[in-house]
Chain A
């Protein structure tokens, strides 16, 4: 059976979220993107303000909502929207995944100081964390399961414990990539979406089963609250792409003004998205290619096609260019405790056939794209467990 590709973007029907291509050859992702130009965003913004006002009325008086933040530019943008644009006070929460670069640490701390917010940082016990990362990798082919589980569960548990009725998320990936939901659906965060898509369909039981080293009772920070707690607390998770015209590259670029430092990686032109991680565009991108058949840069390229900053032809060239970038899994495997033989085994058996042929062409970005892609900095340190916690404006 041939796999149909969208006539406008690079996605095809094999997208892991599922993708529907209509009779005109256009995918559901492109169709839902087109809705962005017909929506009255002023009215949507007013709706969000109403919800935040309601939340403020019910909350503990100190914080109006909870936002999960990381070291990437989207975190800056979420806090900027909620605090600077709308005037509400968020409580920030972060999960230390131990994979941060020096730039990642700098960005997270700059975010906290620039926007002057309370930030709770959860750092899991390293010995246990490495075990669950290893189990996740061996069982799902993706070591991001614990990170995704924690970053989706922590803010919800925190919101329930502190009686804050709203958790704010950025763009809904399923909507932005494949048009899983329309903007008119006002999709919220749900257990189902988390379980099926954020956690790749694997449950905690499946991750810990068969492992004598992991006990479910010790994993509460990875566990989402149950139905009863959710309904009693009435906490909701809202996605901001239902309330603002979501254009990540453009909006993240604005965050340079607030001290965000773009970080270089060889695998994409987008130095804002998921930056500050030692693994995301390396071993995680290799695993992604193995599981889904494409690298992260395809998501960036499809998004840029939809925002009319590149043509599909340019995107195809750029994809082959970035596919050939070197992605090195060794630092991660060493971090995990594999010896040289183990690393060789992995490279031979697990990553075999994932490499793309090298491309010698010069990279050329369209002018529209170039205008939004600043010169990035190279990280000096990777896999940093901790870094100094405060960056004052004068130190940037």
Chain B
């Protein structure tokens, strides 16, 4: 199971978000990326929360370049037009993720992005919350949760490699193993065997050892910065180090 670091960025500051609400400023993107690179996570997902301003995206890209990280980087947040995608693509991310384009079935954008970066570089990023009839998914362009549009399943299969299911209600919290497995079960109807599956929400480094193989990868949101956790080192040397 891949260990992915999730980083939320607001106005070039890395912020902590809890239950889908920004609460704390943590540090600068450049330094946080360098730290996560040192911790040897498998991948870093950088989510730009301030979706609209182009100058913010420019400073974000400058920070990414300055950090000079070697860890594969996924980038997204606010890609609603072809030029938004082009802008992010300048940072040479391994992968780019989309939410609004999928929720609003902007097939022109998805087709274009897929033709440029390739399907292996396309991630569907689906923030969700549990609902009595399954789950509701966040649509950033209307700032609301809504049912997943029926056409989205076809778009995911056609254009995307992996899907991130991001549990907004557990974001930034410390979930139990049973809460995580139950949340994973609640999104089972929305998953497809054709796409890789990444789960996020409430996962902290200290439960990784006990966490069963629930997905192809898990995202740890900012929590890697709470503790000294050189993850790769731990995986290589085993948790019982003398």
CB within 8 Å of B: which residues of A?
17-20, 22, 28, 31-32, 178-182, 184-193, 195-197, 201, 227-228, 230-232, 234, 236-237
Contact = CB atoms under 8 A, between A and B. Distances in A.
Interface string B21-45: 0111111100110110011100000
A231 B231 CA distance: 9
8 contacts: A18-B28, A19-B25, A32-B24, A188-B226, A190-B226, A192-B225, A195-B31, A227-B38
Nearest to B25: A18
Interface residues of B, number: 28
Interface of B: 13, 15-16, 22-28, 31-32, 34-35, 38-40, 174, 223, 225-228, 230, 233-234, 237, 241
A232 B237 contact: yes
Select the residue from B16, B24, B223, B237 with max chain A CB neighbours within 10 A.
B24
Given A18-B27, A227-B40, A231-B233, 8 more contacts: A181-B26, A190-B226, A190-B228, A191-B35, A192-B225, A195-B34, A197-B27, A201-B31
B147 to A, nearest CB: 27
A17 B90 CA distance: 29
Nearest to B30: A201
Contacts of B13: 18
A371 to B, nearest CB: 33
Contact of A28 (B25, B28, B228): B25
Contacts of B22: 20
B234 to A, nearest CB: 6
A189 B24 contact: no
Given A195-B35, A227-B38, A231-B233, A179 B27 contact: no
Given A18-B26, A191-B38, A227 B225 contact: no
SS of B interface (majority): mixed
A195 B237 CA distance: 25
B225 A190 contact: yes
Given A190-B227, A195-B31, A227-B39, A181 B24 contact: yes
Contacts of B27: 18, 180, 192, 196-197
Contact of B233 (A18, A186, A228): A228
Contacts of B223: 185
A231 B230 CA distance: 7
Select the residue from B25, B34, B174, B234 with max chain A CB neighbours within 10 A.
B25
A50 to B, nearest CB: 15
A181 B35 CA distance: 17
Contacts of A17: 25
Nearest to B15: A20
Contacts of B34: 192, 195
A3 B174 CA distance: 33
Contact of A188 (B16, B25, B39, B227): B227
B15 A236 contact: no
Nearest to B234: A231
A232 B241 contact: yes
A178 B16 CA distance: 13
Nearest to A31: B23
